[in-house]
Every structure is written in structure tokens, then in C-alpha cells.
Chains A and B, each alone.
Chain A
Amino acid sequence: MWVILRKDLAIERRTGEILSSLLLLALLMVLVFAFTLEPERLRDPGLLAGLLWATLLFSSTLAFGRSVVLEREAGAWTALAMAPIDRGAVFLGKVAANLVLLLGAAILVLPVMAVLLGTRALVPSALLGLSLVLGTTGMAAAGTLGAALASRTRAREVLLPIVTFPLLAPLLIAVVRTTAGGLVGTPLVALRPWLVLLGSFDLVFLVVGWLTFDHVLED
């Protein structure tokens, strides 16, 4: 797992492709929101949370697609499938690398969003941090699995959002609530059921991906 994580981050350090495209798309979406939505409504932290996760959802599709392309491009995935390692660890390594990039993007985008959209309050809190970590983990797990499955087909670019967006619906509902709570300093315990849902979602997709990646890597 660590070899895959290190390798993916080394490639990203050299090319900067995934993070730059992720940030660029996120910024464009924030600008679109800033120009098209009513300023009064944008002051609502609940709306800011929704816009943040919508932005991350769409821009993460690029990251997941690209992270699989770099494996498929020259057939490196075949060499990974042949290596005497747990193939589930390859999945976890890819998830970890996507998580680092996605979490980095979320941390960079959130304050930019708050400034551009003129949100009144942005209180860094444990709940906000936990929401970002749990939300991006689930997104990375479901997105990495979806991208790997979609990459086996010809219509992979179309299939990736079709496969992942419905899967991510429960995560998005929960994480928007916890993030909104985190932005205004709601106590963590008040949103416990949503946090449990987020944690369960992450666990399910990490385990499913780990168990099924053996078959994903084979023809």
C-alpha cells in the first residue's frame, strides 16, 4: 500500500496534473456560483457546505479518472497485478493517494470559497475537520473503485460519474449536514448520527474495494 501511495505522489510531484486540474475546475465552479447565485443566499453556511461538496464531487471525477489512466497508460496495472502483493493493498494505496490530493484540494478550496462567496462565518472546528476527512475518504474509496471498474470499458469517461454519483448520494447528504454544522461551530455530538453514517460509508467502500480489487485487476 505504501509503495503505491509513494509512487502516485511521486508522479503527482513530477507532473502536478491531478492537483492542478482539480483546483482549476474547483475554482471555476466557485466563480460560477459567485456570479450566478443571489449574494444573500450565499451567506448561508448550509449552502456553502453544499456548494463545497458539489465542487469537490465534480472536480474529483477528473482526479479519479486520471489516477487510473496513469496505471492503464503503458500497462503498468498488468505489472501490479502480477506482483506478489495483496491486490487489495493496491486499491488502498490508490485510495490513500487520491485522499491526499482531494483533502488538499478541499483545504485549499474552502477558504477561497468562503471569501469569494462572502460567507459570514468560517469557524475552524473539530467537526469541520472530521467532516472533510470522512467525506473525502468515502469519495476517494467509492471514486477509485468506480474509476477502476469504468476503466475496463470504452465509455469510461461517461461511465465514471454514472457509476459513482448515485453511490455517493448517502455520503453527500450526510457530509453536507456535518460540514454545515462544522462551519458554524455546532458541537460534534449534535451531529453524531450523520458522522456514524459517514464512517460506515467509508468502511463499507474501503472493505468492498479491498475485497473485489483482485477481480478488477484481472481481465
Chain B
Amino acid sequence: MIVAPGAEPVAARGLVKGFGALRVLAGVDLDVPRGSCVAIVGPNGAGKTTLLRILAGISRPAAGSVRLFGHECSRNGTPAPIRARVGLVAHEPLVYRDLPVRANLEVFASLYPGSEGAATRAGRALERFGLEQVAERPARALSRGFLQRLALARATLHEPELLLLDEPLTGLDASARERTLDELVAHRARAAQILVSHDAADIAALATSVHGFRRGRLARLSDRPVAESDARRLMRDLGAIS
């Protein structure tokens, strides 16, 4: 596998994806450079989550190409070394509900290469997202907020260079939200992020540019960070919020 050094984390061209007769993506182009957080907005069903799943390598497009870190991933799937550089926070927490928080993180840490052991990396993730107090509690017994923190800890414990975030701050209380925002902003400086959100405050706090879905295609709405009121206006124009 040849990976160009310094290649852009995401370069997608002409992505098409449908479910039966419904065409969700109708030629999506997207570039995400390092050090950026691209916000993607649009109404429900516009194709935001479908796009994230394609970029995460768990769904393949019907047409078009995805290059992750310079490697073509749409035809033969995303190879393991590229998967190691990607993280995903999805609607679901993507954890085992019957395992305790610490055990969950250790399982996922042990699936990723690293110079430190799985227990060390899991311990650091617990600390980073304030999960120490619930470390031995099964994920099934966690509140919505703690479950979201666990999802964030799992997605970031291998220090991904591309982080895909689908409503990452849902259910967090004010202090956890602040702490998580600090973590994500620090992460953005050394990686790339794609943020899907309906929350104007999240977009204002994290995004360095904003794209919106229109009839299955992505349109660039802003090249720079936006204020909360502008993010709200952009989403209202797309019908993403009322």
C-alpha cells in the first residue's frame, strides 16, 4: 500500500449512494485538510450519516471515489493501516452494554496498535473524559451523558488523525460539554475532523468551515468559522432547523 506522506485526510469525489429507489448521495465532493473541522449540516435524511459511514469504511458508495490519507478506499474497502487512523462518534455509543466502562475501553484499545499497553491507554481515556467514577460500572447502567463520554473516549483512544463526529456533544452536561470541547479543539490542531450537528453552538465552537446538503450534494456554505447566529441562519436556510 502506497500512502503519500502529508496527503489530505479526506478527498472524496462524486460519491453516490442510495437505498432502494431513494438516492441519498448524488455526487458528493468533499476535501478535509489537516487542522480543520468541517461541519456538515442539512435536514434529517439528507445523507449526513450515510456520508460519515462511507468515510468510516463501513459502507461503500455505489459510485465515486474516497481517498483517505492518499489511499483509494472506495473500491476494495479501507485497508487496516488506514482504518487505524480513523475514529467515529456515531448515534449509537458503539460499545458493549454488558461490559464495564474500563473493560470496554481495554477491549477496543487492544484492537489498535500502540507503544503503550491497552490498560494504560484505556486509563488515560477514562481520565480525559471524566469517566473514573463510573469505570467499573457496566455501560448498560450509564446515564445518557456518561454513555456519550464513553463513546467519545472509545473513538479517540487510538489518537485518530481523522475523527468523524455525529452529534458528539448530545446529552452532555455543561461541565462535560466544556471539557469535551477543549479536548476536541486540542485534537483538531493535530488532526482533521468532520462534524455533523444540528446544534449551532457546537458548530460555532468547533467548525473551521461549513458545508450543507442540497439535493444529495454538498455545497460550501462558509470557508471560515461562523458565529452561533450565522450557523443557525445557515441551517435554517437548508431546512435543518425551524
| Known A-B contacts A11-B98, A84-B113; A75 and B93 likewise in contact (beta carbons under 8 Å) | yes
Tell me if B63 is interfacial: C-beta within 8 Å of chain A: no
Cβ contact of A84, chosen from B83, B90, B96, B138, cutoff 8 A? B83
Number of residues on chain B facing chain A (CB within 8 A): 34
| Known A-B contacts A14-B99, A79-B108, A82-B86; A217 and B94 likewise in contact (beta carbons under 8 Å) | no
Q: How extensive is the interface on chain A, given as a class?
A: 20 to 34
- Residues B95 and A76 in contact, CB atoms below 8 Å apart: yes
Chain A residues in 8 Å Cβ range of B98: 11, 14-15, 70
| Of B28-36, B53-61, B171-179, B210-218, the one touching chain A | B53-61
Chain A residues in 8 Å Cβ range of B139: 74
Tell me if B205 is interfacial: C-beta within 8 Å of chain A: no
Tell me if A214 is interfacial: C-beta within 8 Å of chain B: yes
| Known A-B contacts A218-B58, A218-B77; A75 and B92 likewise in contact (beta carbons under 8 Å) | yes
CA distance A219 to B154 in the complex (A): 21
117-162 of chain B: CB within 8 A of chain A: 138-139, 154
Tell me if B224 is interfacial: C-beta within 8 Å of chain A: no
- Residues A85 and B111 in contact, CB atoms below 8 Å apart: yes
- Residues B92 and A82 in contact, CB atoms below 8 Å apart: no
CA distance A74 to B139 in the complex (A): 10
- Residues B96 and A219 in contact, CB atoms below 8 Å apart: no
66-80 of chain A: CB within 8 A of chain B: 70, 73-76, 78-80
CA distance A33 to B110 in the complex (A): 46
CA distance A79 to B107 in the complex (A): 11
CA distance A83 to B107 in the complex (A): 11
- Residues A78 and B92 in contact, CB atoms below 8 Å apart: yes
Residue in chain B with minimal CB distance to A2: B110
CA distance A11 to B95 in the complex (A): 12
| Additional 8 contacts, C-beta under 8 A, given A14-B98, A218-B59 | A3-B110, A75-B92, A79-B154, A84-B81, A84-B84, A85-B80, A85-B111, A217-B58
Interface residues of B (CB under 8 A from A): 53, 56-60, 77, 80-81, 83-84, 86-88, 90-99, 103, 107-108, 110-113, 138-139, 154
